[in-house]
Each structure stands twice: as C-alpha cells, then as structure tokens.
Structure 1
C-alpha cells in the first residue's frame, strides 16, 4: 500500500536535485505565486462539450489507476540510482515504454478495452511547483498530451477507448519542488489543491473526459499528506472548477482518510484485498520487493486465485463503481496489464469478471461442511480450536495465549489507546445469499472495567465502509468481577462478505485495559 515512502527511487533522485535530497525544512518556505492553468482547455463553454459523453449513476463501471511515469530513454522509474532494477514486475516489452510515447499509451488503452475497462485515471503528481520543464515531477504534465493523442487515434478508428478521469496523488501536498507542506484550510492551500485539478483537466479536451452524470471524475489519494484540511477545500474546488470549466462541477471520490463530505468514498489498498466503502477497490496481489528501504510485504497472487476471489467477494455485494488497483504499478507488483511475468492472464481475468459484473451476475455460495450447520465456533488458547470460525490477527488486535480462572484462553491488552479488537473469519459454506440474522456468544473473563461490543459485516449503509462495521445493538458492561461470563450479541442483517480488516467478517470491540476471551459461537437465529 502506498504511503509517504512510496516515492520510487528514480523520482526521489529528481526531487533531491531541487531540494538537496531532503524534503524537510527548518522554516516554512515562502508562498510562491501559483501559475495559471498549464493547458489550453479552460474558460470552456457549452460548445466545448458538444462531443462529450457521460456515464450515469445507473451504469456499472470498471475503472483503473494508470501509472504513466516510466521512460525507457531516461530510465525514470525503471532503474534505481545504484543501477539496480526498480521494478518488481516488468512490461512485456521495453520498446517505447515511455510516458512520451503515443504508441505506448495507445497500446495500453487498447488493452484496457480488451479488459473491459470503462475509464482510466492517470496517477497525476502534478502541482503548481511542477509546471517547469526542469521540475522533478514534470513528467506528470509531459505524459498527458501523448495520452490524449493516443485516445484520439483510437476514436478515429471507430473504437471506444476508456475515458479519462483524474487520480490526484496528494503526495504532492507534502513532496514538491517548492518544499511546501500545504494546509488546505488556508487560502493558499485551497488554491494549490484546486490548481492541481485545474491543470490536469486543462490538458484534456472535454470529449475525452470520464464523467458521471455530466461531472468529471476525480478520485483523491490519502489526506495524510496535507498539513490540515476541512470541508472548505472541496467547496472551493467545486466553485472554482465551475467558473473555469463551463459550469461543470467535479464528481469527487475521496479516500476514506479525508474528514469531509464528497460524492463518494474510496479506500486505497484494494491490491491487498477487497475494500468497498462505496467505490470498491480490488487487485491481483502485492509485492514491493524492488522498492529500496521498505519492509517486506507480499500478498501472493496464487496463480490468479487471489484476484478471482476478490472479484467473487465484490460480486456478492457490488457497488456501481469498482477500481482495479492497478493497471501497471510495476514497482509494487499490482499490475494487471500485459507483463513479462504474467502475459495477458490478468487482462483476460479482468474481462471475465467485468463482464459478469455488468451483467449483474451474483456468485452462488459454495456448499461445504457448514452449509447445514446451525452454528460455527472457535475455542481460543495456545493452539486455537477452529470449527468454521477462526481468529484473525491485525495491527489493532492480536491477542496472545494466556490463562485465567484456570482456563486456557487469549488475552488482549489495549495499552495506551484503551481500546482494541479481536477479529474473526467465517467459513463461506456457513453463509447464505442475502442478509442473515445471527447470534454471537462470547465467553470472556471479566478482568477489568470497561465495555464489550461487536461490529460485523452487515447491512447498515451508514456504518463505516458501507456497512462493513455495523454495530450490534448490544453493548456489555465490564465490571472487573474476576469471573468467567458469557455475553450474547445479535447480528441482524449480517452479510459477512470479508469486508473488514484482513478479510475478517466480524470483530469484538474492547473498550477496557484488557480482556481474556475463550470461546466464540456464532449461531443462526
């Protein structure tokens, strides 16, 4: 998953030229004047949209993230400064492998058509500081005209290539040539944020825009790179865009880290497993082995099974939009495009499931050992005894083997946070299409005062991640009685589609210094 350390080494070297290899400053640099729009397509009128086409909210759409920062001539994002290979996976051919090549863009767009992709979001690292041709991130600007030319050529051939929207890589709110760390609650911060979106669309003729109900699609990466933000930055962007682009208002999907109201929410990290807070994300796996300085993180592709499994999970509870993460991020091994390692396997798989998605197909639940079972359970201890239900460790919840009241169990200590979780997964053969009403029994040792609740993958659309963390109506008071007890929770409308962290179906919510847990039973109600 991308983070502040995401900048691949070739880019880091380019930035280092501008800022001495360090993006830290003893004092904030002065605010420079924000330049006018980079491209010619501004101050638009209705006539400029005569050839434009739009998707509607009723359409089922498949999009993808397009990393176009590679250049075989300059070795940008291909070779590390020490001469080592910067890529985990590799394109099928290095010929014309460059953001400056119309031929390369045209080939990728054609392959996206074969994969059933409806719209493409170039990953844009542009910013007011990067307009200059000697800026380290100027490739973001230089690569767009060839992409437009490629799409235009396909249209002239009578084809229907993916339409172009924007993925705003908000890393540039912190990592940019001018050394700015943007506060999006200030006037300067809002103008910078908007100028990045403006610059992108000023370079794309409206006939090529990906629009939803007549509104150009913009997805935002993480809010973590902004010094501060609030709703005003979105409101400002909408108003300014309307003035510059013929009355159009952008359709903005914000990553879940943004604390504001957008048109939809999206979660980065789908390559690690399906995420669906409104706009779904899924991918083939993950491996950033070639990226220097990162701790190992590999999610195996399992010969395509991982990708197919996540598509199946998505199809059981689909949203209208799904993003394939990613088309061609070779550094992190999340590519589904044609590659040296996998050929066209993932293009074909994407086409298969994109077609099923648009047809409205819903996968049947697999028969198995627990299809007719009335309950599943797990007994926690030094070696858990799983019977259709199993514990899943996550960063915010990994209970350790323990003993309390003369019984083996597991102990969760919440530390300074004062809260934590215990996650569980469920055998698919116990699940049924549609919503289920279930009952969860939790045997616990009441060692400290606090509260115990349950969040499950349910039907409450107002709950986080589209219902993935629906709260059980019951909350149990913990008193510190030093006795074993059993708490009972109802799970109305449970869907259990592995939508929680690490693919879990439900989790215990612990608001106490510690809790000992022994036996969990999930029953049909």
Structure 2
C-alpha cells in the first residue's frame, strides 16, 4: 500500500478491510517498551551527554555488547514485556547495528521487536528508510499484525515532512503506527496510518498536578476511544520525565512520586482497554523515563511492570 494521492482511496479501503481482519488474525494484547540502542564509549554517556539517573551499579554499558543485550532482554521477558520498539536512525548507524543484535536475541526469548523511525528529511528519504527496514522485517522475531510487519514512526518525522509530505512516502508493506498527540490529532491522522500512538505523554501529565490518577483515567479513556475501530489501539505509560538538565526553557516534568505515577498511569491504561500498552521507556536515561534498574530507583518500576503486565495480559478474552 502506498501513501501517494493516487492511491489514497485504495489505501483507505485497505485500512478498512484490515480493521476487521487484524483482530481476527490475533493482533492481541501486547506490552511494548521503547528501547534505545545508541549507548557506547563516548556515545550518549557522560561526559558526552549528561544523564539524570545512573544505571544500576554505575555501569555505562555498550549497546553493541551482546551480553548487555541478552541481560536487557532477559529482564524484559521476566517482567512480562512482550516486545520492544527500537530507536532507529538509519542504515549503518549504531542503532541499526543494535537492531541486528536485538532480533536474534529476541527470537531466543520469544519476544518481538520492531523499529522506531526517528528522522527523515524528505519523503524520498523516508521511502528509502522504509525500504531498508523492510529487508530486516523478514526476520521471524519482527512484530507483525497479520502478515504485515509493524513499524512505528516518531512525531519528528511528521513535524519535518508534514502530513501532506507523509502522503508521498512509499510504503513497501508495513503496518505503520504513526504519531498523534491528542484525540483531535488522532482523528486527523487516522487516514494516514494503520494505527496511532503517543510517545511524549509528559506534555499531558505535566499539567496534572492534582488527582493525577483521576485525570489519567479520563484522558486515557478519551485517547483510546478516539482511536475507534483501528486495527490496533494503543495507550502509553511512563514512570516519570525530566530533561531540564539537557534543554533550556520551560520543560515539562513528570515526577516519579516514589513509583505512584507509573502505577496510576498503568491503572488508567488497563481501564481504557487498549490492545497494546507502550512503555516510555526501557532506557531513555537522558529524559529520566527509564524503567531499566537504576542506582536511584533500583528495580522498583521493573517489579511494578511485572505486576501490571500480568494484570493486563491476563485479562484478555
């Protein structure tokens, strides 16, 4: 299916057909964590870039170390996470090499993996990126809906290309989960993608100073309902967020509140009954949204994830 104007009607018809068949083919419930494979010597660790929290034991690890990948995926599997969404910045990038390590390691543990397309300057560049990823998507560990491999697209791509620019991107056959930041954007972007997700939930939670749980349940319900009859519906949870040490200006902050924030967002997500719960994030250390064990928080969020995934996945009919 292509996103050109010439094929817009055909794409819409295909999406409508997929809506009915994807659930029947067992898209099912999943818990997926956004994952960052860019860490390494002089790459995204101090002094190159400051981080908010510290990995457990102070280990500034290398994402291209197979032992590190194995440990991380073991922890995910033990916590009930069913797959990961790996940040991807293009062929040959460190994240591209990390993805090559992730896929066979995920297969060994019964996990699924997909990529998060982070940037594209033009529609032609995005088309080339999708073509490059489609070759990797033949791997049996790649996340699928029906017969189609899944690909997530970050909001930066839409900010760069615009919605009209995205229509010119050639899709070789991916089930694409695009970005949307509020219910209105969901309605506007629904014709462009097979499903939608929000990543930067902190721009919502930043304003929930009181009764976070109540506001989260109300917002999460509206968010999932806005996705309507999409083949897959999503909801995003995060343990906290703080990137003020990286960026100047009035930045959104979501305090962890000793783990209460994560629990209340999970409770709201479970009540909203999406197909997939997305965790922001496994290891975005710079923004303080990681659930990977840290010196500051131990395995608190990882243990909470295990309890919530059991509840969420165990409640599917």
TM-score bucket (shorter structure):
0.7 to 0.9
> Which residue does 2:37 correspond to in 1?
68
Given the superposition, is the C-alpha separation of residues 55 and 78 from structure 1 closer, same or farther in structure 2, using an over 3 Å criterion? Answer: farther
Q: What SS class does the counterpart of residue 39 from structure 2 fall into? A: coil
> Which residue does 1:349 correspond to in 2?
304
> Which residue does 1:207 correspond to in 2?
140
> Which residue does 2:229 correspond to in 1?
none
1:140, distance to aligned residue in structure 2 (A): 2.2
Given the superposition, is the C-alpha separation of residues 166 and 55 from structure 1 closer, same or farther in structure 2, using an over 3 Å criterion? Answer: farther
Distance, in Å, in 1 between the alignment partners of 2:165 and 2:137 is 28
Equivalenced residues, count:
261
Distance, in Å, in 1 between the alignment partners of 2:174 and 2:103 is 20
Distance, in Å, in 2 between the alignment partners of 1:268 and 1:333 is 14
> Which residue does 1:282 correspond to in 2?
237
> Which residue does 1:307 correspond to in 2?
262
1:56, distance to aligned residue in structure 2 (A): 4.5
Distance, in Å, in 1 between the alignment partners of 2:54 and 2:125 is 35
Q: Is the 8 A contact 2:38 2:63 kept in 1?
A: yes
Pick the aligned partner of 1:163 from 112, 127, 132. Answer: 112
> Which residue does 1:122 correspond to in 2?
86
> Which residue does 1:106 correspond to in 2?
70
> Which residue does 2:197 correspond to in 1?
266
Distance, in Å, in 1 between the alignment partners of 2:46 and 2:249 is 17
Taking CA–CA contacts closer than 8 Å with sequence separation of 6 or more, which of the two structures ends up with the larger relative contact order? 2
> Which residue does 2:159 correspond to in 1?
224
1:118-157: per-residue Cα shift (whole Å, max 9, x none)?
111101111xxx64xxxxxx212232223235335xx2xx
Q: Is 1:329 equivalent to 2:284 in the alignment?
A: yes
Q: Structure 2 regions of 5+ residues with no counterpart?
A: 1-22, 206-215, 225-232
Q: Is 1:192 equivalent to 2:125 in the alignment?
A: yes
Q: Structure 1 regions of 5+ residues with no counterpart?
A: 1-53, 132-137, 174-180, 183-188, 242-248, 362-525
1:61, distance to aligned residue in structure 2 (A): 0.9
Distance, in Å, in 1 between the alignment partners of 2:288 and 2:304 is 17
1:206-254: per-residue Cα shift (whole Å, max 9, x none)?
21211121221111111112256356335x21xxx2xxxxxxx311111
Given the superposition, is the C-alpha separation of residues 320 and 227 from structure 1 closer, same or farther in structure 2, using an over 3 Å criterion? Answer: closer
> Which residue does 1:445 correspond to in 2?
none
1:302-332: per-residue Cα shift (whole Å, max 9, x none)?
1111111111111222111110111110000
Larger radius of gyration: 1
1:343, distance to aligned residue in structure 2 (A): 1.3
Q: CA RMSD in A?
A: 2.6
Equivalent residue runs for 1:53-452 within 5 Å: 56-57=25-26, 59-71=28-40, 73=41, 75-81=42-48, 86-95=50-59, 97-126=61-90, 131=92, 138-151=93-106, 155=108, 159-160=109-110, 162-169=111-118, 172-173=119-120, 181-182=121-122, 189=123, 191-203=124-136, 206-222=139-155, 223-226=158-161, 229-230=164-165, 232-233=167-168, 236-237=170-171, 241=172, 249-256=173-180, 259=189, 260-271=191-202, 273=205, 275=220, 276-277=223-224, 278-360=233-315
Larger CA deviation: 104-113 vs 89-98: 89-98
